[in-house]
Structure 1
Amino acid sequence: MLEDIYSKCPYPLDLFLDKLSSYILLNFDMDLTIRGFNKEFLETVKLVEAEIKDKSIADIFSSSSLQRVDFDSIKSYQRVKLCFKEDVIIDKLYHQYNSYFFNLEDGYYLIAEESTPEQGEIIEKISRLNNELANKTRELSRKNVKLEKAKQRIEELLKTDKLTALSNRRHFMDYFEKMIANAKRHSLPLSLVMSDLDHFKKINDNYGHSAGDRVLAAFGQLLLEETRQGDLASRIGGEEFTIILNGTPLKEAKNYAERIRKKVSNLEFEAIEAGITISMGITELKPKDDAESFLKRADKALYKAKNKGRNRVESL
């Protein structure tokens, strides 16, 4: 193609012949459809040879830069700056090219070289890219925060009883075993309270399950309000609840349980005529205890309270 331009062109090609081997060469017919190109063009664009066929100049260069070319009035070579479309050019920092157009008898010829920007342009481009990177980094950070919050929320839901907002049985057992190990390691007191709402089945039978749910939710809220940080209140069954009292000896645990029992008896519910009472069993960790023996003894203390007439606190 270079020989074609040189032989047909009456214009001073010596202006750029010293570097012509690094230039992009394109040939267009009078309808501005690509008719020929050199290997430098192929190395610049993402297109393969088969894709270039029938492409027009408007498919390659941005429309804003093509507005600078006056094809109809080219009587000698015309120099303009053209910009490749971003989806056409292989990733480069700059897409702008110094271009020379020639209007010969059989069509148009284009010789183009990548424009070397001034230092100010480089700084501006880098600054713009840095700003884009900072914006994307901030956006990614926000998405990561949302993802982490969603993950934490899912974890909370997996260990929480939906009705009462207390811990569920699985979370109770995990925490229970950890607190037993911690108490033994540091020689700390640890008490366990097991409780059961008295005659809860009658509430469901007489007033409906929605009334029973209101009672459970109210008791759950009471335990949340009365539970210290480090302790854990859980719903482990239908109307069965546990409270792990970390660093609490048996005597203090009894006082705590008695306070809860009295507050439960003071709860009032619309349409439920009978009062709400609770039975509670308490025990303190012993040196030879594991989770199973500790839990069984608390359960025995609870049944002791039930057998003695309910609405009371008993310990073992």
Structure 2
Amino acid sequence: MVILIGAGAFTLAGIYKGFIVVPRRSAVQFILTKLIACYLAVMAIVLSVFIVWSYHHVEQHRDNIATQLKSSVEAALRQSPDDVSKALEWLAIGTNLSQSEKVPLQAIAILSEEGHVLFAWPDAQQVADTNSLTFNVLNLKDSPFTLAIAFSETLLENVFTQDLWLFVVVFLCQLALLLILMKYLVRRGISRAFSSFMRELSLVNLRHPSPLQADSFLGQFGEYRQVLAGVNRVVLSLAKSRGELTEINLGLEKHIQEKTASLAERNEELLILNKQLSIIANTDSLTQVYNRTRFDVLFKEHVEHAKRRSTPLSILLVDLDDFKKVNDRFGHQAGDQVLKHAAQLIQTVVGEDGVVARWGGEEFAVLLPYFDLTKAEAKAESLRASVAKARFEEQEIKVTTSIGMAQLNQFETASQLLKRADDALYDAKGSGRNRVIIAYYEQNPTQLDLADGEFIEVFDAVSEPSQCVPGVSQKLPS
């Protein structure tokens, strides 16, 4: 019986685990779980009631058997009060007939007043082996003897063996059948309805919302209709909110576009103004070439670049000869025009090869990056010749230029380079004007510290200036 109950429980657990107990249960599995739980609870109550009823039924049946045996023994003793052996023979026949009853007997004994066994059924050994606590002792009426009866099983064992096993088998079969039917019906109904509901919900268009339709099966339940009505309200509310947000977004986009366009216009105006300010700040207003301030910045940058990269850098200082006479003879307005056109001519000759700036008054500075003395001298001669050939204004004013030039040496500073070029310009003006004077770098004897601690003296050769002839380059050491 225990094996039967264990097998049934194992089968039930397998069915429950296979059909219901899985991670992340679906709605169908949840409903099935609740139904089976309710069913098991009801069946547990029914089973408890059945066990109690069966227990009392078997107990009453045992009492009836004991009463019948007692009556039989008393009747046998009354019929043969002097012949006890005959009475006991009738008692043996009665006990054999009682074996067909539902509650079998284990042992019967008749005891004398002294406690001796006068009669033992089925035999004396069986009576001796039976636990004395299992005997029901009955006093016989009008007799000195005592009747002791022992049933073959306890009351609870008798209940399980006689009635409960059939109930358990029926219960397990009913539970398995119910589980299969409920799973099929619920899955076919609720699962299909929920799948249809979720599919319809996924197709909701918030731009053009339409109410969800009730399922033909679930629509008969009030709870489902309430849920559906709530979902429809939420969908319509979301659609309304989406429309409002769309309108707000469109308004914001339009506003942002307007602000962006306005900012773009202002930024463009600022760029133009910045360019104009940069030109005003860095350009000479009369000649439209770089002013002295801008030239100083560019000059330092080119000097640092040339030293860092070890590239040649030359500078020309150009002065318009006797320009004061032009102002005195033709007036300051004509002089300004001569300065303007002379600057344009210098800019044209230099082109993209260098930087032209107004140094001050009638003087101009020209930076020639990557130009050594040879190339710079050629450029200076070209510039001097172009200005000498030019005629300015209606009066065909003629001017000449004096040019001092120098090339940067790695051992000198920017101010030293500028001073050499300025000295060369001064010598060009002092030696007859309309000429180019080159200032070569002269290094004084210097002790250079070597790696081994020794010293050497280094001397640079100095070129002597050539004869001062107008139109011919002069070379002047600084």
Same fold by TM-score greater than 0.5: yes
Partner residue of 2:403 out of 267, 272, 280:
280
- The Cα of 1:228 is off from its aligned counterpart by 4.0
Secondary structure (helix, strand or coil) at the match of 2:432 reads coil
| CA distance 1:213–1:137, shift in 2 (3 Å) | same
- The Cα of 1:277 is off from its aligned counterpart by 0.7
Structure 1: which 4+ aligned runs deviate by more than 6 Å? none
Q: Structure 2, unaligned stretches of length 5 or more?
A: 1-238, 440-478
Q: Which one has the largest radius of gyration?
A: 2
1:144 aligns with 2:263: no
Q: Deviations over 1:11-59 (max 9, x none)?
A: xxxxxxxxxxxxxxxxxxxxxxxxxxxxxxxxxxxxxxxxxxxxxxxxx
Give the match for residue 306 of structure 1: 429
- The Cα of 1:227 is off from its aligned counterpart by 3.0
The structure whose residues are more often helix, as a share, is: 2
- The Cα of 1:304 is off from its aligned counterpart by 1.9
| CA distance 1:270–1:291, shift in 2 (3 Å) | same
Q: Which amino acid aligns with 1:313?
A: V
1:239 aligns with 2:374: no
Q: Distance in 2 between matches of 1:302 and 1:256?
A: 16
Give the match for residue 94 of structure 1: none
- The Cα of 1:118 is off from its aligned counterpart by 5.6
Secondary structure (helix, strand or coil) at the match of 2:360 reads coil
| CA distance 1:151–1:301, shift in 2 (3 Å) | same
Report 1:1-316 matches (<5 A).
117=240, 119-229=242-352, 231-272=354-395, 274-316=397-439
- The Cα of 1:122 is off from its aligned counterpart by 3.2
| CA distance 1:152–1:128, shift in 2 (3 Å) | same
Q: Which stretch shows the higher mean deviation, 288-297 or 203-212?
A: 288-297
Number of residue pairs aligned between Structure 1 and Structure 2: 201
- Cα pair 2:337 2:393 within 8 Å, conserved: no
- The Cα of 1:121 is off from its aligned counterpart by 4.4
Give the match for residue 64 of structure 1: none
Q: Distance in 1 between matches of 2:353 and 2:436?
A: 23
Secondary structure (helix, strand or coil) at the match of 2:365 reads strand
Q: Structure 1, unaligned stretches of length 5 or more?
A: 1-115
- The Cα of 1:145 is off from its aligned counterpart by 2.1
Q: Which stretch shows the higher mean deviation, 234-243 or 148-157?
A: 148-157
Q: Which amino acid aligns with 1:135?
A: E
- The Cα of 1:184 is off from its aligned counterpart by 0.3
Q: Which amino acid aligns with 2:371?
A: T
Q: Distance in 1 between matches of 2:363 and 2:242?
A: 75
Give the match for residue 20 of structure 1: none
| CA distance 1:270–1:217, shift in 2 (3 Å) | closer
| CA distance 1:230–1:124, shift in 2 (3 Å) | farther
- The Cα of 1:129 is off from its aligned counterpart by 1.8
Secondary structure (helix, strand or coil) at the match of 1:162 reads coil
Identity %: 38
Q: Deviations over 1:223-265 (max 9, x none)?
A: 2223344621111110011000011101101111111111111
- The Cα of 1:274 is off from its aligned counterpart by 4.8
- Cα pair 2:350 2:379 within 8 Å, conserved: no
Q: Which stretch shows the higher mean deviation, 220-229 or 230-239?
A: 220-229
